[in-house]
Structure 1
Amino acid sequence: MPVTPTVAPGAPGIPARWTSSAKSGVGTSLSPAGQIWFTISHGILNEIYYPRLDSACTRDFGLIVTGPDGYFSEEKRDAAHAIEPFENGVPAYRLVNTAGDGAYRIEKSILADPARPALLQEIVFTPLKGAASDYRVYALLAPHLVNAGMGNTAWVGDHKGKPVLFATGRGTCLALASSLPWRSCSAGYVGASDGWQQLHNTGKLDPTCRRAEDGNVALTGEIGFSTGKSKALLALGFGATPDEAAENAFASLKRGFEPAAKSYVEKWRKWQKGLLPLDRHAASGINFYRVSTAVLATHRSIAVPGAAVASLSIPWGFNKGDDDLGGYHLVWPRDLVETAGGFLAAGDAASALQILDYLHSIQQPDGRWPQNAWLDGSAYWPGIQMDECAFPLLLADALHRAGHLPRARLAAFLPMIERAASYVVRNGPVTGEDRWEEDAGYSPFTLAVEIAALLAAADLLDACGKQSAAAYLRETADVWNDQVERWTYVTGTALCRQAGVDGYYVRIAPPDSAEAGSPKDGYVPIKNRPPGDTDRPAEAIVSPDALALVRFGLRAADDPRIVDTVKVIDAQLRCDLPQGPLWYRYNGDGYGEHEDGAPFDGTGQGRPWPLLAGERAHYELAAGRKDKAASLLAALEGSAGPGGLLPEQVWDGADLAERELLHGRPSGSAMPLVWAHSEYIKLLRSLRDGAVFDMPPQGVKRYIEDKTVSPLRTWRFNNKIRTIPAGKTLRVELLAPATVRWSTDNWATAVDSQTTENAFGIHLADLPTANLPSGSTLIFTFFWSGAGDWENVDFSVISGEQDSQSILPRQTP
Structure 2
Amino acid sequence: MARDMPIGNGNVLINFDTGCNIRDIYYPYIGQENHALDHLSHFGVWTEDGFFWIDSPEAVKTAAYETDTLVTDVKCSSETLGISLYIHDAVDIESNAFIRKITVYNGWERDRQVKLYFHLDLHLYGTAVGDTVYYDPELCSLVFYKGHRYVSLSCGSRERPSESSPNGYATGQKEINGLQGTWKDAEDGQLGRNPIAQGSVDGTIELELTVPAQGSKQGWFWLIFARNIREVQQSEQELRSAGPEAYLERTRSFWRQWLQQDRHELELLPDDIASFYKRSLLIIRTNMDNRGAILAANDSDIMKFAKDTYSYMWPRDGALISHALDRAGYHDWTRPFFDFCKRSLSSEGFLLHKYNPDGSVGSSWHPWVDAKGKKQLPIQEDETALVLFALWHHHRLAGSLAESRDDYERFVIPAADFLVHYRDASGLPLPSYDLWEERYGVFSFTTSTVHAGLLAAANFAEANKDPSRGELYRDIAGRVKEALEQQLYSEREGRFLRALYWNEDKGAYDPDLSLDASMYALFDFGLFPADDPRIVSTMQALRQNLWVQTDVGGMARYANDYYHQVSSDIGKVPGNPWYICTLWYAEWLIAKAGRREDLSEALELLRWTVRHALPSGVLAEQIHPYTGEPLSVSPLTWSHSTYVKVVQEYLSKLKRFGEGPVAEQDLSENKLLGSR
Give the TM-score category using the shorter length: 0.7 to 0.9
The answer on 1:332 being equivalent to 2:314 is yes
Shift of 1:197: 6.6
Partners in 1 of 2:273 and 2:242 — Cα distance? Answer: 33
CA distance in 2, matches of 1:377, 1:332: 11
**1:507 equivalent in structure 2:** 498
Match of 1:5?
none
Whole-angstrom distance in 1 between the partners of 2:273 and 2:421: 51
What SS does the corresponding residue of 1:155 show, helix, strand or coil?
A: strand
Structure 1 residue 567: Cα displacement = 3.4
Q: Which residue of 1 aligns with 2:101?
A: 122
Equivalent runs, 1:170-181 vs 2, <5 Å: 170-179=147-156, 181=166
The reply on whether 1:219 has 2:203 as its aligned counterpart is yes
State which of 304, 310, 316 in structure 1 corresponds to 2:302: 316
**Counterpart residue number, 2:576:** 607
- Give the letter for the 2:311 counterpart: H
Are 2:98 and 1:107 aligned?
no
After TM superposition, give the deviation of residue 225 of structure 1 in Å. Answer: 2.8
What SS does the aligned partner of 2:150 have? Answer: strand
Q: Which residue, 131, 140, 145 being the options, matches 2:119?
A: 140
Given the two structures, how large is their TM-score scaled by the length of structure 1? Answer: 0.69
Going from structure 1 to structure 2, the CA distance change for 1:120 and 1:630 (only over 3 Å counts) comes to: same
CA distance in 2 between counterparts of 1:568 and 1:551 reads 17
Deviations 1:644-689 (A, max 9, x none): 1222111112xxxxxxxxx22423x222222222222222221222
Match of 2:180 in 1: 194
**Alignment equivalent of 1:207, drawn from 182, 186, 192:** 192
2:331 to 349, 355, 359: 349
1:445 CA drift (Å): 0.7
- Preserved CA contact (<8 Å) 1:152 1:213: yes
Output aligned runs, 1:352-363, within 5 Å.
352-363=334-345
Q: 1:514 to 1:223 in 2, by over 3 A?
A: farther
One-letter amino acid of the structure 1 residue matched with residue 252 of structure 2: V
Aligned to 1:430: 430
1:471 aligns with 2:471: yes
SS in 2 for 1:565: helix
Alignment pair present for 1:404 and 2:412: no
2:556 maps to which residue? 584
Distance 1:282 1:626, change over 3 A: closer
Counterpart-to-counterpart distance in 2, 1:564 and 1:404: 38
Q: Give the helix-richer structure, 1 or 2.
A: 2
**For 1:461-500, what aligned pairs fall within 5 Å after superposition?**
461-490=461-490
Aligned to 1:599: none
Q: Does 1:182 align with 2:159?
A: no
1:714-753 alignment runs, 5 A limit: none
Inter-CA distance 245–132: structure 2 relative to 1 (3 Å threshold): farther
User: How many Å separate the matches in 2 of 1:664 and 1:408?
Assistant: 47
CA distance in 2, matches of 1:285, 1:684: 8
1: distance between equivalents of 2:519 and 2:604? 21
How many Å apart are 1:156 and its aligned residue?
Answer: 3.5
Q: Which residues of 2 match residues 676-695 of structure 1 at below 5 A?
A: 676-690=639-653
Structure 1 residue aligned with 2:586: 617
C-alpha distance in structure 2 between counterparts of 1:509 and 1:238, whole Å = 50
String of CA shifts for 1:310-340, please: whole Å, max 9, x gaps.
22323535x369x53xx33321111111121
Question: For 1:654-665, what aligned pairs fall within 5 Å after superposition?
Answer: 663-665=627-629
Shift of 1:594: 4.6
Deviation at 1:606, TM superposition (A): 5.2
Determine helix, strand or coil for the equivalent of 1:193: coil
CA contact (8 A) 1:159 1:243 kept: no
- The answer as to whether partners of 1:188 and 1:211 remain within 8 angstroms in 2 is no
Gaps of 5+ in 2: 158-165, 365-377, 424-428, 657-676
Of 3, 27, 52, the residue aligned with 2:7 is 27
Provide the secondary structure at the position in 2 that maps to 1:226.
Answer: strand
Q: 1:158 is matched with which residue: 130, 136, 148?
A: 136
Distance in 2, matches of 1:125 and 1:664, equals: 34
Structure 2 residue 543 is the aligned partner of structure 1 residue 558: no
CA distance in 2, matches of 1:514, 1:340: 42
Q: Deviations over 1:590-620 (max 9, x none)?
A: 2226559xxxxxxx99521111122111111
Distance in 2, Cα, partners of 1:515 & 1:124:
72
Aligned to 1:85: 65
Deviation digits for residues 752-795 of structure 1, max 9, x if unmatched?
xxxxxxxxxxxxxxxxxxxxxxxxxxxxxxxxxxxxxxxxxxxx
Tell me the secondary structure at the aligned position of residue 50 of structure 1: strand
Match for 1:395 among 369, 390, 394? 390
Cα offset, 1:641, TM superposition: 1.2
SS at match of 2:468: helix
1:283 offset after TM fit, Å? 6.7
Cα distance in 2 between the residues matched to 1:153 and 1:165: 13
Q: CA RMSD, aligned part only?
A: 3.3
What is the rounded CA distance, in whole Å, between the counterparts of 1:239 and 1:349 in structure 2?
29
Q: How has the CA–CA distance of structure 1 residues 184 and 159 changed in structure 2, closer, same or farther, with 3 Å as cutoff?
A: closer
How far apart are the structure 2 equivalents of 1:128 and 1:447?
A: 64
Aligned length: 612
Counterparts of 2:404 and 2:240 in 1: how far apart (Å)?
Answer: 45
Take 1:674 and 1:645, find their aligned partners in 2: how far apart are those partners? 10
For residues 20-64 of structure 1, what are the alpha-carbon distances to aligned partners after superposition, in whole Å with 9 as ceiling and x for unaligned?
3432x222347xxxx333233322333232222133323443312
SS at match of 1:636: helix
Q: Which amino acid aligns with 2:337?
A: I
Computing the radius of gyration over CA atoms, which structure comes out larger, 1 or 2?
1
Q: Is the 8 A contact 1:611 1:675 kept in 2?
A: yes
Q: 1:487–1:519: 8 Å Cα contact kept in structure 2?
A: no
- Structure 2 contact 210–217 (Cα < 8 Å) conserved: yes
Give 1:371's aligned residue: 353
CA distance in structure 2 between the aligned counterparts of 1:365 and 1:399, rounded to whole angstroms: 24
Cα distance in 2, alignment partners of residues 364 and 692 from structure 1: 42
Between the aligned partners of 2:196 and 2:109, the Cα distance in structure 1 is 35
Matches of 1:140 and 1:566, distance apart in 2: 51
Structure 1 position 211, deviation (Å):
4.4
Q: Secondary structure at the match of 1:430?
A: coil
Distance 1:196 1:595, change over 3 A: farther
State the partner residue of 1:267: 254
Q: What is the SS of the residue equivalent to 2:25?
A: strand
Native 8 Å contact 1:457 1:470 kept in 2: yes
Indicate conservation of the 8 Å contact 1:144/1:152, yes or no: no
More contact order relative to length (CA 8 Å, sep ≥ 6): 2
For 1:474 and 1:277, locate their aligned partners in 2 and report how far apart those are by CA, in whole Å: 32
